[in-house]
């Protein structure tokens, strides 16, 4: 790397040390960390040809897919490929990764060109998410797969259940069917318990059961909506008890 980047390392030593303390990892090669933080606009202004974070971002994107995929199949061996893919996709989109970048205050350490700096580049999701992936790519090159996996675990572990539950609850009736089908090769049974009120304002109460055991109830203005609510209640119970 150009000697000017050695000067950059010295100029930003405090900033780099602060970031490394925050991510609980110290780079053996500090130039890798620095490169992960250099936006193309900064590299262009300072004539650092090719010495910005875009190739590290490319690598980090693949590393994130691999490490997060490994975590998901270990945590949820019962989920099918489609569900796992959708959970992972929800956690690697630009908006989500930008939030993860802010969690470690990555925005404070980016090296941006004057134009990007003046236009609020530190708040742009595209720049933040790219830098986050570049940081992960740099960690992979510096410390290997286990280092990258440990970082992803620290960052994502606490969000896995929330994302899974959000996905399942978006169509609880289908999710309950798959949940029970995967484990017992059978689905739930929905029973209309009551139908009250006048014709123009009916209220339906439905029970979702499995092998005669009630798992949840739902009440709504249509039978279909009541079944969805019953399935949601059943899923909440099953997921909450680990059944």
User: Residue 241: its pLDDT value, please?
Assistant: 43
Specify the pTM.
0.72
Task: Give, in order, the Cα–Cα distances in Å from 48 to each of 30, 40, 42, 179, 213.
Answer: 17, 9, 8, 53, 67
Name the nearest CA neighbour of 176 among 219, 217, 213, 230.
Answer: 230
Ligand-binding annotation for 130, yes or no, is yes
Angle (deg, nearest 10), helices 13-23 and 30-37: 90
Q: Does the 172-241 domain belong in CATH 3.10.440.10?
A: no
Domain boundaries, the chain: 3-165, 172-241
Cα of 204 vs its chain's centroid, Å: 37
Integer Cα distance of 118 and 41 in angstroms: 12
User: Residue 100: its pLDDT value, please?
Assistant: 95
Integer Cα distance of 188 and 174 in angstroms: 10
Integer Cα distance of 228 and 242 in angstroms: 21
User: Residue 78: its pLDDT value, please?
Assistant: 78
Integer Cα distance of 43 and 64 in angstroms: 25
**Splitting the chain (243 residues) into consecutive groups of 10 residues, what average pLDDT does each group show?**
71 94 96 95 81 94 96 88 86 92 96 93 94 98 97 92 75 84 89 90 94 94 92 86 44
Q: Is 61 a catalytic residue?
A: yes
Q: Is 133 a catalytic residue?
A: yes
Assigned fold of 3-165 = Ribonuclease iii, N-terminal Endonuclease Domain; Chain A (1.10.1520)
Ligand-binding annotation for 133, yes or no, is yes
Q: Which one of 116, 133, 178, 227 is the catalytic residue?
A: 133
Q: Same CATH fold, 172-241 and 3-165?
A: no
């Amino acid at each position: 790397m150009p000697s000017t980047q050695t000067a950059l390392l010295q100029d930003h030593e405090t900033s780099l040390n602060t970031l490394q303390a925050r991510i609980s990892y110290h780079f053996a090669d500090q130039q890798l960390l620095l490169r992960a933080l250099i936006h193309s606009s900064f590299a262009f202004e300072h004539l650092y040809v090719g010495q910005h974070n875009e190739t590290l971002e490319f690598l980090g994107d693949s590393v994130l897919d691999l490490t997060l995929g490994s975590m998901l199949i270990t945590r949820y061996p019962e989920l099918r490929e489609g569900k796992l893919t959708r959970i992972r996709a929800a956690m690697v989109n630009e908006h989500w990764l930008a939030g993860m970048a802010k969690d470690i205050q990555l925005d404070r350490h980016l090296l941006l060109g004057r134009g990007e700096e003046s236009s609020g580049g530190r708040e742009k999701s595209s720049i933040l998410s790219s830098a986050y992936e570049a940081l992960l790519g740099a960690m992979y090159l510096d410390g290997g797969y286990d280092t990258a996996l440990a970082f992803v675990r620290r960052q994502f572990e606490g969000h896995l259940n929330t994302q899974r539950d959000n996905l399942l609850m978006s169509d609880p009736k289908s999710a309950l069917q798959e949940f029970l089908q995967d484990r017992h090769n059978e689905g739930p049974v929905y029973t209309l318990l009551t139908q009250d009120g006048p014709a123009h304002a009916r209220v339906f109460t439905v029970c979702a059961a499995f092998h005669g055991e009630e798992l949840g109830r739902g009440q709504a203005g249509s039978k279909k909506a009541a079944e969805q609510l019953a399935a949601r209640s059943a899923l909440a119970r099953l997921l909450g008890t680990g059944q």
